[in-house]
Chain A
Amino acid sequence: MAITPKKNCKMERNFSRRKAISVAGKVAISAIVAGGVAAIGGYYAGQVAAAPAKVTETRTVTAAPATARETVTVTAPATTVTVTVAERSKLSLSHWTWNAKVMEKAFELSDALLRFNVEVPQESLTTGQVYDRLTVAATAGVGAPDWVLLENEFTPRFASIGILRDLEEFGARKYLDKLPKFWVDSGSFDGKIYGMPWDIGPCGIFYRVDLFEKYGLEPLKPGMTWDDVVEIGMQFLKSEGAKDHAFMSFPTNDRGPLTAIIQSRGGKIFEGKKVVLDSGEALEAIKFIASLRDKKVISMEPWWTDEWYAKIADGYFLCIPAGQWFGGFLRDWLAPKSVGLWRATSLPYWEKGKPTGGIYGGSNFCITTQTSDEKAERAWELIKFLTIDLNGVHALYKASGYFPANIEYLDMIKGSTEPYFGEQRWLEIFVDVLKYTPALEYGPLWTHYTGNIGALLDRLAAGEDPVTATKEIAQIIRSAIG
C-alpha cells in the first residue's frame, strides 16, 4: 500500500474553463464515450494505486452551456491518487454533526467533495441536539438531513424508529472485515447495519508517569490486573503525595468509564428488552467501582467542568480512565504543557492473562430514510470513502486525531510515537484493546440506560450501597419501559 499517512495530499489544479467551453462541441462526443468507459471501468478504479507521484486526474464537469471535460493535474507527494470522476450532476448532501470543522478539514485534505461532486452543508450541533432533532424529524416524517453522525451506542435506537437506511442496500456487508467485529455487532439492529464507523474509543488509562516516579509507584502497563492497580493505588495513598493528589479520577456525570468497565467484565445492560443491569457481571463491575470508592482509589466527581480541567492541568490526578481520544484532548487543550509526562495503558484485566477491553465513545456515519435514493447513493460513496478507503480514513484521522475503526489503517499507524507521550507506542495499546473487547448489546432501549446511569453514579459517589442503588435504578428503568 503506497500510503504514507503522515504526509498530506497536496493537489495543484490547472484548468481553463473558457478553453474547455470553446471546444465543448468537439469534446462532447469524446466526453460521452470517455464517461461511458469510466463508468464501465468503475468509479473507484485505482483510487489508491501504486503509481508515480505525479498523476493525472480525469474528471467531467457539468458546465453551461455544454458538458465539458477538464484535465486536472494532481501532485501528491508519497501518495498516489487516481480519481476518475463520473459524469453526473452536483448534489448537496446535508449533514448534522458535532464535528463540522473537522469534517471541513478532512474534505479539504482529501478533496472528497471534488471526487464525489457534492457539497456538504453541515449543521454543527451537540450530540443531544442531533438526537432531539432526529427524533422530531422521525416523528414528523420530514426534516432529517441526508446523512448524520451518531454515536455507535445510539445507532440502534434510531434504526428502530426507521429514520436510518439499512446500509446493506449499498453493499456495506462486504466491507465489515475491515472493521472490528464487536463494534459492528454492538451498533447493529435486527442484524442489519445502519452505520459505518468514523471513530472508535477503546478505553484505557492515562497516567502521569512523572508522579508515579516521584512517589515510587510501579508504572501501569498492559496486562496488569485490577488487583495490581488497586495495590499501586493503596501504596500511593500511604505516600506523601496523597495530600496533594488523587489517584484516579472517576466521573459522576459521564457514563463512559463505568460502561467500559462493565463491558470489559462481560456484563450486559439489556438482554433484548429485559433490564439486566442489576445482575451478573454488570452488578459485579458496579460493586467493584464502589469498592474502589471505599478504598479511596478513585475520586468521584463531575467531569468536563472548569474545575476538573484545572485539576488535570495542575497534575492533581495520577490516572484518568478514558477512551483513546482523550490522549488528543490532553495533548491539544487539557494539558498541552505536560509534554512527555503522560503515558497510556489498557484497562486492567480482571484475571491475569485474560485480556479484555471496553469502549468509551465512537461514532458512525448514517444515511437517513428521508433522503432521496440518488442522494443516499452519493452519501454512501462519501461515507465509504471516509471509512473504508484509506485516503478518506487518513484525511479524517489527520483532521481529527480520532481513532479510526479501519483495522488496515490502524495497523499502519499503530507504531506512531510522539513526544507528548514520551515516544511511547501508545496507539498500539489501544489497537490491541480492540482485539479483546467483547460486544455490548446497546439496542433500541439504550436511552433508558443513558438517562438514568448518571443518578447511579451520583448515588455511588454519595457513598450508597451499590447493590441497593443499582437495583433501584434498574427498577426505574423497568418502570419507564413499562
Chain B
Amino acid sequence: MRGYNRYLIFFLLPFFALFMTFNILPIFYTIFVSFNKVQFYGGSASFSFTGLTNYFQVFNDPLFFIGLKNVLLILGIQVPIMTGLALILALLLNSPLIIGKRFFRSAIYFPLTISLVLAAIYWSFMYGKEFGLINLLLSNLGFPKIGWLVDPNIALYSIMNVITWRWTGWNMLLFLAGLQSIPPVLYEAASIDGAGRLRTAIHIVIPLLKPVFVFSIVLSINGSLQTFAEPWVLTGGGPAYSTYTVVLNIYRYMFGIGNLGLAASMSLVLGVITVVLAILFIRVVSKE
C-alpha cells in the first residue's frame, strides 16, 4: 500500500506542478500585485506597497462601473434567454419525434467551433448599417435602417445576440447530456402512473436537470461577467462605452496603460463579484 501511494504521488506530481504554476501561483501573485504600485523600466519591475490605493481607484473609476453595468445587463437579459433557448432545443432534440437530430445538434453547436474573428466578420456583414443583410431585409420590408453596432442604445443587444448565437449550442449540449442521463425507467414509471408529457416534464425532467441547470447558469455567470471577445472584435467597447465590459477595462489598464496594480485589483474585485453572485444563485436554487 505504501508503495502504491509513492507511485500515486509520483504520477500526480506533474499535474500539481503545472496546476500550482499556472493556476495557484498567479492568483497569489495577482493579490500581491494588487497591493502595489508596479513600475517597469528596462525589463525590471519595482514594487512599492500602496495598501488599498488600487482598490480605492477601482471604485473611483467610472469605466469600471460602466463595464459592470453592461455585464450585469448581459447576465440579466442574455443568460436567461440563452438558457431557455438551450433547454428548449435540448428537449426538442431529445424527442423521438424529431428527425435529423445529429445534423441539428452539430449545426447548433457549430458557431462555437469557428474562429471568433471569422464570426465577427460574418456578423459585421449582417449588422452593417447601410449594406448589412439585416438592414437590407428591413428596408425591403419598409422599415428604417438600424445602427446595430453604431447606435449606443442598441449595440449591447446586438452583442448579446452574438453571444447567444455562439454559446447556445454549448448549453444545449449540457442539457442534452443531462436529459440522456435520466433513466428511462422513470419515464416508464410516470407513464404507468398516468402522467402526461407535461407532468413528466415538470415532475421528472426538470427536477433531475436541476444540477445541469445550476452548472450551466454558474458557468454563464462567470462567462457573462468576463465578457471580452465579442465586444472586443465587434465594437471595441464602443460606441460611447455602450458595449464596454470590465475585462476590456482590465485589458486596457494592463496592456494599454501598463498599470498592473490597478488591473490586478480590478481582476480580483471582478472575481469576488463573480463568486458572490454564483454562491447567491446556488443558495437560492438550493433552498427551492
Contact = CB atoms under 8 A, between A and B. Distances in A.
Interface of A: 131-132, 135-142, 157, 161-163, 252-253, 301-302, 305-307, 310-311, 369-370, 447-448, 450-451, 454-455, 458-459, 461-462, 475-476, 479-480, 482
Contacts of B236: 253, 454
A137 B43 CA distance: 7
B208 to A, nearest CB: 46
B253 A462 contact: no
Those 10 A-B pairs whose CB atoms lie nearest each other, nearest first = A141-B43, A162-B42, A458-B240, A458-B239, A162-B41, A447-B256, A132-B255, A307-B130, A161-B40, A455-B240
Contacts of B140: none
Given A301-B150, A310-B131, 8 more contacts: A135-B254, A451-B257, A455-B239, A462-B240, A476-B62, A476-B63, A480-B63, A480-B257
B60 interface: yes
A162 to B, nearest CB: 3
Contact of A480 (B45, B124, B253): B253
B61 A480 contact: yes
Contacts of B43: 137-138, 140-142, 162-163, 369-370
A450 B257 CA distance: 10
Contacts of A137: 43
Contacts of A462: 152, 239-240
B220 to A, nearest CB: 28
Contacts of A370: 43
Contact of B255 (A135, A253, A301, A482): A135
B258 to A, nearest CB: 6
B238 interface: yes
Contacts of A302: 150
Contacts of A142: 43
Contact of B238 (A253, A310, A447, A476): A253
B44 interface: yes
A450 B252 CA distance: 11
Interface string B236-254: 1011110000000000111
Contact of B239 (A307, A447, A461, A475): A461
B262 interface: yes
B258 A306 contact: no
A298 B257 CA distance: 32
Contacts of B238: 252-253, 454-455, 458
B260 interface: yes
A455 B67 CA distance: 14
Interface residues on B, range: 20 to 34
A218 to B, nearest CB: 30
A414 B257 CA distance: 39
Contacts of A475: 62
A141 B44 contact: yes
Interface in B224-278: 236, 238-241, 252-260, 262
A131 B61 contact: no
A29 to B, nearest CB: 44
Nearest to A132: B255
B138 to A, nearest CB: 15
Given A141-B43, A141-B44, A479-B62, A307 B129 contact: yes
B42 A163 contact: yes
B253 A139 contact: no
Nearest to A482: B57
Contact of A482 (B63, B131, B240, B262): B262
B223 interface: no
A141 B40 CA distance: 9
Contact of A307 (B60, B63, B128): B128
Most buried by B among A163, A458, A475: A458
A461 B129 CA distance: 15
Contacts of A140: 43
Nearest to A444: B258
A311 B241 CA distance: 26
A448 B61 contact: no
Contacts of B62: 475-476, 479
A307 B131 contact: yes
Nearest to B54: A482
A302 B236 CA distance: 12
A305 B258 contact: no
Contacts of A136: 255
Interface in B112-139: 124-125, 128-131
Contacts of B260: 139
Contact of A479 (B45, B60, B128): B60
A455 B255 contact: no
Contacts of B128: 305-307
B241 A451 contact: no
B258 A458 contact: no
Nearest to B254: A135
A161 B41 contact: yes
